[in-house]
Amino acid sequence: MSTLLPNFINGQWQNGTGSGTSLFDPVLGTELVRVDSTGLDLTAGFNFAREQGGQALRALSYRQRAGMLSAAVKILQANREAYYEIATANSGTVKNDTAVDVDGGIFTLGTYAKLGESLGDRHFMLDGEAARLGKDPLFQAQHVLTPTRGVALFINAFNFPSWGLWEKAAPALLSGVPVIVKPATATAWLTQRMVKDVIDAGIFPAGALSVVCGSSAGLLDALQPFDVVSFTGSAETATVIRSHPAVVQKSVRVNIEADSVNSAMLLPDATPGSEAFDLFAKEVAREMTVKSGQKCTAIRRALVPEAHYQAAATAIKERLAKTVVGNPRNESVRMGALINRAQFVTVQEGLQYLKEQTEVLHDGASHPLVDADATLACCVGPTLLGTKNAQGSDMANRVHDTEVFGPVATLVPYRDTAHALALIRRGQGSLVSSLYGNDPKTLANMAIELADSHGRVHVISPDVAALHTGHGNVMPQSLHGGPGRAGGGEELGGIRALNFYHRRSAIQASTNVLSAFNPA
């Protein structure tokens, strides 16, 4: 029987009392490890984190906590090779895709270490200038931000077991808030190993960092009023979290990142053969294949002027045809597997659902698998669908409503820019939309038009062809999240990420008292 991974809770490593859930290699089908959280005393574990971890973290300054983040970066970098091996085995990702997760997580942690250094030796932050409350300026109000005296519970998705951990944990720990992470069961191995390496190094105080692998049963029940929850996953699970008594009755603060039918738009001035057109085709193909399309920010709808539909289809198809699919251990393979058999079935079903309202422009089934048994491997070739014409774009409601979480995208022709904007907004709020064109003024106007319904608008013009960070890449300096069906949450965005882990309060006092504030 495979190894059972221990949980770290209440300041100690503990095995669950059950037989555990097995994690598998999605290409070879072999059992890797097991996880189990049955029988853990979660209430005691949460209390330990609040009382021991929280108190110890809050006693430190932002600069001191930033130093701990820097130390964690060094530990993670030293064990990077092991993380790549785990990702290959458990996530079925090629090296470049593993880098997005592993190196992206370490980079994000390092970024917050540097931001924390800039905050200095303070223990709280001022929020704006003092405000006069009457005619006499002697009595004023000063808003302050202080770390919440609770725990940060993270319930993460399967697609980014490294980045999903550290993009949440970095600002929480820097804020002085202890972290309890519940990784998605299917890929919990990498998260558990990273947490273990950091804990074994003795970097953070006891109770500052905990990990629970396996079932999430009971986690929400252990929450108290000053705790916070950050969730990445399905809209259905998000609804369960939002309706839990801890949220409804105790006002536990919640951040949600849910489904997102993201879009990319080719502007009319980006004609076939132009650099902007080529950038669009390249990015659509890349977003379809990176991590086998298992990215919450991946392009799901690619909008093009109706007159450019066939040219765009040809350009994207030519790029997709070169994608080698199969075992990530083979150096020739450029796209690995979906995470497991259940996801494989879900993607196949979603693909068939979309095909009923679209045409197939590039069939993923045309890709032979390299070094992989098609009866075992959870590999799916990239599939490009299309709605044929602008009228079809209006009629294909499934394209605008359904996110197939795999290497699937739909080419959507539009009549004019007003029509394109209307089609994009049928996504009901997304994490990201990207624009491709030449004229700065037009691109700027379109970006502002889309800003209200997207967490991020990624604008690509020829002058940034070699500089832009990519439609789907989430940078720690920029906001991640989105309104509407995307969950309504916000993460990252530089120092802004710390707001979620702080409480804003107004202190009304004499200017003599307010002047005595010393954030350091």
In tens, the pLDDT along 285-338 reads 999 999 999 999 999 999 999 999 999 999 999 999 999 999 999 999 999 999
**Helix, strand, coil % (nearest 5) of the chain?**
40, 20, 35
Q: Are 145 and 499 in contact (CB under 8 A)?
A: yes
Distance CA 47, CA 207 (A): 9
Q: Are 221 and 246 in contact (CB under 8 A)?
A: yes
What's the mean pLDDT in 340-355? 97
Does the pLDDT value for residue 498 go beyond 90? Answer: yes
Per-residue pLDDT reduced to its tens digit, 99-129: 999 999 999 999 999 999 999 999 999 999 9
Distance CA 489, CA 165 (A): 16
Q: Hey, which residues does 196 pair with through a beta bridge? A: none
- Tell me the residue length of the chain: 520
Does the pLDDT value for residue 519 go beyond 70? Answer: no
Does the pLDDT value for residue 184 go beyond 90? Answer: yes
What's the mean pLDDT in 431-450? 98
Q: Are 20 and 189 in contact (CB under 8 A)?
A: no
Per-residue pLDDT reduced to its tens digit, 45-66: 999 999 999 999 999 999 999 9
Does the pLDDT value for residue 510 go beyond 90? Answer: yes
* Averaged pLDDT of the chain: 97
**pTM of the entire structure?**
0.96
Q: Tell me the DSSP string of 200-263.
A: HTT-SPTTSEEE--S--TTTGGG--TT-EEEEES-HHHHHHHHTSHHHHTT--EEEEE-----E
Half-sphere exposure of 67 (CA within 13 A, CB side): 9
Per-residue pLDDT reduced to its tens digit, 186-245: 999 999 999 999 999 999 999 999 999 999 999 999 999 999 999 999 999 999 999 999
Q: Is 55 left (phi over 0), alpha (psi -120 to 50) or beta?
A: alpha
Spell out a b/e string for 412-421, using b for 16 or more CB atoms within 10 Å of the CB, else e: bbbbebebbb
CA distances from 58 to 90, 122, 222 (A): 36, 11, 21
Q: Tell me the DSSP string of 334-387.
A: -B---SSHHHHHHHHHHHHHHHTTSEEEE-GGGSPEESS-TTT------EEEE-
pLDDT at 245: 97
In this structure, which amino acid lies at residue 513? V
Distance CA 156, CA 168 (A): 9
**Helix, strand, or coil here: 275?**
helix
Give φ, ψ of 501 to 5 degrees: -100, 5
Dihedral angle sign, alpha carbons of residues 49, 54, 55, 57: positive
DSSP state of 51: I
Q: Are 468 and 283 in contact (CB under 8 A)?
A: no
Q: Are 197 and 76 in contact (CB under 8 A)?
A: yes
Per-residue pLDDT reduced to its tens digit, 236-256: 999 999 999 999 999 999 999
Distance CA 107, CA 101 (A): 10
Say if residue 342 is exposed, middle or buried (CB neighbours under 10 Å; 0-12, 13-18, 19+).
exposed
Which residues, in sequence order, are CB contacts of 34 under 8 Å at separation 6+?
Answer: 1, 2, 3, 4, 5, 19, 20, 21, 22, 23
Residues with a catalytic annotation lie at 257, 296
pLDDT at 520: 55
H or E, element range at 24:
strand 21-24
Q: Return the number of other C-beta atoms located less than 10 Å from residue 326's C-beta.
A: 26
Q: Are 309 and 413 in contact (CB under 8 A)?
A: yes
Give φ, ψ of 454 to 5 degrees: -140, 145
Among candidate residues 157, 163, 335, 334, the one with its CA nearest the CA of residue 260: 157
Does the pLDDT value for residue 517 go beyond 90? Answer: no
pLDDT at 2: 85
Among candidate residues 445, 375, 385, the one with its CA nearest the CA of residue 413: 385
pLDDT at 389: 97
pLDDT at 386: 98
